[in-house]
Amino acid sequence: MRNTVMNILDTLTATIANGASLTDAMNLGGLRLFGIVMPAAWTAANLTFQVSCDNGATWNNLYDSNGNELTVTASTSRHIALDPANFAAVQLLKVRSGTSGTPVNQGGDRVLQLVLRSV
């Protein structure tokens, strides 16, 4: 008899409001972020992230192990594959349009789909 491992796949909707650059806080529910599906309309900007490990009391920009702000190249109408290892210790997440130093306000409500999976 073969063991079957269940890999839970889920999505969360993340909205950056018109004139804003940051989503509301999202709870990843113990899953890891594996991808982002971008909307058809997008004011040109890459994506960066804020995370909280104290239930949302404090938010920090997400950096990689080399000290670089974790930046994802983004554009319209695409599924962006992410390295889930970068989100292994993330429970609460915000997605930003632009970087921490140069956030980019969106020219309309922008709905991104976060693709989550268990490991």
Query: For residues 37 and 95, what is the distance between their CA atoms, to the nearest angstrom?
Result: 12
Q: Count up the domains in the chain and report the number.
A: 1
Q: Which of 67, 64, 72 is nearest to 98 (CA)?
A: 72
Structure tokens at 39: 């909307």
DSSP alpha helix (H) spans, 1-119: none
pLDDT of residue 100: 97
Pairing of strands 26-27, 92-97: antiparallel
Tell me phi and psi for residue 39, to 5 degrees: -75, 170
**14 lies in some domain:** no
Please check whether residue 9 lies inside any domain of the structure: no
Residue 11 located in a structural domain: no
Cα separations (Å) of 6 from 9, 12, 84, 116, 118?
9, 19, 17, 14, 8
Domain for residue 50, yes or no? yes
Where in the sequence is the domain holding 48, given as residue range(s)? 28-117
pLDDT at 68: 97
Per-residue pLDDT of the chain (119 residues; tens, 9 = 90+): 444 556 788 999 999 999 999 999 999 999 999 999 999 999 999 999 999 999 999 999 999 999 999 999 999 999 999 999 999 999 999 999 999 999 999 999 999 999 999 87
Does residue 68 sit within a domain?
A: yes
